[in-house]
Amino acid sequence: MTGRRWWLAAATSAPDVDQVRGLWRAARAAGEPRWYLDLIARIGRQTAAGPSRAGS
């Protein structure tokens, strides 16, 4: 998997919010656009909320 799809897949499967933050920083360093970084951040917020609140 390459490009943007890779970042989202990695963020979605990350076991904790710290790993999602690291992926966000790496995507930012790679020059991904703000709207895409916002998608990764949303996954991070859902991960931080835990499984009971992830869909809200």
Q: What is the pLDDT of residues 3-51, one digit of tens each?
A: 677 999 999 999 999 999 999 999 999 999 999 999 999 999 988 887 6
Backbone region of residue 35 per phi and psi (left: phi > 0; alpha: psi in -120 to 50; beta: other values): alpha
pLDDT at 4: 72
End-to-end alpha carbon distance in the chain: 28
Distance, in Å, from the CA atom of 25 to the CA atom of 19, rounded to the nearest integer, reads 10
φ, ψ (nearest 5 deg) of residue 44 = -60, -40
pLDDT at 34: 96
pLDDT at 53: 44
Q: Give the three-class secondary structure for 44.
A: helix
Check pLDDT > 60 for residue 55: no
7 neighbors 40 (Cβ within 8 angstroms): yes
